A and B are shown apart, each in its own frame.
Chain A
Amino acid sequence: MIALEGIRKAYGRRSVLDGVSLALEPGRITALVGPNGTGKTTLIKVILGLTRPDAGRLLLDGEPVDDDGAYRARIGYAPQAPRLPENLAVGEVFAMLRALRPGAALDERLIEDFGLRGEWQTRVGTLSGGWRQKLSSACAFLFAPDVLLLDEPTAGLDPVSSGLLKAQLRAAREAGRAVLISSHILSELEEIADDIAFLSDGQFRFSGPISGLLEETGMRRLEPAVAALLRGLRVEQGGAPRSRVRA
């Protein structure tokens, strides 16, 4: 449905994405994993057009996207550590989004499920981290988009809320939407994701069905399989274990 081809992006001399290609298919949930600072967020922002790649193409249904941003009508995005305007009230955020897309179909189930109506008058700046996360996810789902991009959507969510979100993600898959989730919580991804894309040092070290990764590494669970990938990387890089590497 949406595809990246040969995306390169460098900030100054530091190359973040080094020729990355990825296709998101309808009805599939893709998990985007990788150590901190490997460009997961940059990759998502390239799909959104928030970050301009140095090279490469973005295709929607096989066609290169226009620069005027109209293609974003088909994308729902929940940013990491929700970056939302602080001085608007929750209700005003939704009202503004709806005003920007008059006539679009609405999916307000997450608003109801999360109980966001109870916080309708609360200013975003005074919401707790978890509530902002809920607001952000509800915004991403609001227009029933074909493509969902969720950057660490369950960070800071209580178990009940993250269960509700997962139920919505499954429903989205049933409805034939393409979903990309970045997360560090592998057990959670294992539960809902079909495919996994492992990004490290600007390139995908693995990209394909989770079952394929398990097979390749000879593991039965995702966590040790990703750990095996990381170990493989370290051996490649000369064996020195890098501290603070999380998958």
Chain B
Amino acid sequence: MSTIGLVLRASARDLARNRWLIAYAAGFWAVTEALFYFGGSGPQVILSLLNAVLFVVPLVALVFGTAHVHASREFIEMLLSQPLSRRSVFAGLYLGLALPLTAAFLLGAGVPLLLHGAAADAPRLALVLLATGGALLTLTFAALAMVIALATDDRLRGMMLALGAWFVLTLAYDGAVLVLVSAMGDWPLERPLLALMLLNPVDVARVLVLTALDASALLGYTGALFRRVFGSALGPAVAVAALSAWAAIPVLVARRRFLRRDF
């Protein structure tokens, strides 16, 4: 445990000094403040912010995470030539990446959300779920970044894969689902669609926040379905559980890869 702590501290100290991470937090703060300033504190602001979070958080976690792990190759080699187990080095590295990223997100978006959440008409549950969803997305995509970086030796290739994963999960996936729906409109697609939605962490995060907003029209096909199947009480719980699973699976894949690979 102390080993994990040491690796985590060394890695996190390095990241806390990182200009990109500070810019990320500051940028999120600026966007959040601007949205509240121009949009009041109603559900529209939450929706705009939700779109920003779903778009930016996976991108930053994937690109920054992949670049960071690749840049840490020497550091990893040095740690692994010390009397430390690979398990604890991996735990330290993952937490050393995921925690500073999550902290940057929560500082940048979470703090203004809490401040504005104090307003009388604020949809508080949605604000809390937005912060939770963004944090869980950060953990998920930081782990995916580790999977990508550990599977590639070439930095450029790793970066292309990271951007590819981002494109597929945030943009192409929904497009493909829409095509499927319009092509097979005559079939009972409800259950398969629900499964497809749960298979994409970005969709799960979206539905998580939308279930707390009273904006059924914005829920979309799968969102409405989700609410009907799980109800408005169970819905957020199911979505948080699905997102947590999404955060855990890539961690396990990256860990397995880390324990076996050559350095």
Q: Please list the residues of chain A having a beta carbon within 8 angstroms of any beta carbon in chain B.
A: 45, 48-52, 67-73, 75, 77, 79, 83-88, 96-97, 99-101, 139
Contact = CB atoms under 8 A, between A and B. Distances in A.
Given A50-B262, A50-B263, A84 B78 contact: yes
Contacts of A45: 262-263
Nearest to B2: A102
Interface of B: 3, 6, 10, 14, 17, 71-75, 77-86, 260-263
A26 to B, nearest CB: 20
B3 A50 contact: no
Given A73-B83, A83-B78, A100-B6, 16 more contacts: A50-B77, A52-B261, A52-B262, A67-B85, A69-B84, A70-B83, A72-B82, A77-B81, A79-B81, A83-B74, A84-B74, A84-B78, A85-B78, A96-B6, A99-B6, A139-B78
Majority SS at the chain B contact face: helix
Nearest to A68: B85
B262 A83 contact: no
Contacts of B72: 85
Given A50-B80, A72-B82, A96 B10 contact: yes
Given A69-B85, A100-B6, A49 B80 contact: yes
The 7 A-B residue pairs with the shortest CB-CB distance, nearest first, are A85-B75, A73-B83, A83-B74, A72-B83, A68-B85, A51-B262, A50-B263
Contacts of B77: 50, 79, 83
Nearest to A139: B78
A180 B25 CA distance: 48
Nearest to A44: B81
11 contacts: A45-B262, A69-B84, A79-B77, A79-B81, A83-B74, A84-B75, A85-B75, A85-B78, A96-B10, A99-B6, A100-B82
A69 B260 contact: no
Contacts of A87: 14, 17
